[in-house]
Amino acid sequence: MASSSTDSKTHSNSIQYEGFDGNDENVLKKHVTFFDRNMDGVIYPWETFQGFRAIGCGIFLSSFASIFINAGLSGKTRPGKFPNLLFPIEIRNIQKAKHGSDSGVYDTEGRFVPSKFEEIFSKHARKNANALTSDELSGMLKANRVPKDFGGWIGSLAEWKILYILCKDKNGLLQKDTIRAVYDGSLFEMMAAEKASSKKKAGVKAANC
C-alpha cells in the first residue's frame, strides 16, 4: 500500500493549533465529516467505504473499515433510538462514540486538547522528537490501555495501525504534522486530492501513449 507523501524531514516542535480553539465547534465532527459524502449529517457504511477508497485504500480494507466503524459507532451516536441495520452514524452525536484506551487528545465533548497531543511525542517519541516509529506507536497503544477495556483496545489498535500503514513516510515514521492533520480531518482531504491528482495524471499519460 502506498505511503503518504508527507515529508520525512524533522519538523518544528512548535505546532500551530489553528482550528483547535477550545471554544470552537466539536473538532471530532471535523475529523469524521470527510466520510459524510452527501453532507447530510449521517454517515452510512457505503459512504465510509467511498471515503476510504477516495484516500487510496484497497477494496478489502475499505470494506472492513466500513463494517467495523459503522457497526461499532452507529448505536452510540443514536441514543434512545431503535437499532438500524443500515448502521448510520449521526455526526452531531459523534462524541458519544468516543472509546476508551485512547490518547485523550479529544475530550468528552469532542474538543481538541493540545497538551494531550504533545504528550504523544514527549512520552513516546524516542528516535525522532516529532515522529513515531512502528515500535513507538505500539508502545503508546499499550500504555494507553485501560484494564479490561477490550473494545477500546481494538478500536485504538485499528485506528492507529491503519493510519500508520497509510501515512508513514519512506523512513517508516509517522510524522507529527500528519497526526495533527488526522485529528482535524484535513489529512483525509489532502490524501483524496493526491489520489485524484495521481489518477488524473495516469489518465493523461495513458491517453498520450
* pLDDT tens string 80-137: 999 999 999 999 999 999 999 999 999 989 999 999 999 999 999 999 999 999 999 9
Task: Kindly state the cell numbers that stand for 28.
Answer: 471530532
Whole-number pLDDT of residue 205: 66
Element (H, E) at 152: helix 150-167
How many CB atoms within 10 Å of residue 2?
10
Q: How many residues does the chain have?
A: 209
Facing residues of 132 across strands? 174
Q: How far is CA 188 from the centre of its chain?
A: 8
Cα(166)–Cα(1) distance, integer angstroms: 7
Nearest Cα neighbor of 192 from 26, 10, 33, 16 is 33
Cα(187)–Cα(208) distance, integer angstroms: 32
Whole-number pLDDT of residue 19: 46
Residue type (1 letter), 55: I
Percent of the chain's residues with pLDDT above 90: 78
CA dihedral sign, ordered 192, 193, 196, 201: negative
Cα(87)–Cα(43) distance, integer angstroms: 9
124 near 141, Cβ under 8 Å? no
Task: Kindly state the cell numbers that stand for 180.
Answer: 495533527
56 near 191, Cβ under 8 Å? yes
φ and ψ at residue 104, rounded to 5 degrees? 80, 10
pTM, 2 dp:
0.80
Q: Is 43 helix (H, G, I), strand (E, B) or coil?
A: strand
Would you give per-residue pLDDT tens digits along the chain (209 residues)? Answer: 444 444 443 343 334 444 444 445 588 998 999 999 999 999 999 999 999 999 999 999 999 999 999 999 999 999 999 999 999 999 999 999 999 999 999 998 999 999 999 999 999 999 999 999 999 999 999 999 999 999 999 999 999 999 999 999 999 999 999 999 999 889 999 999 999 998 877 766 666 76
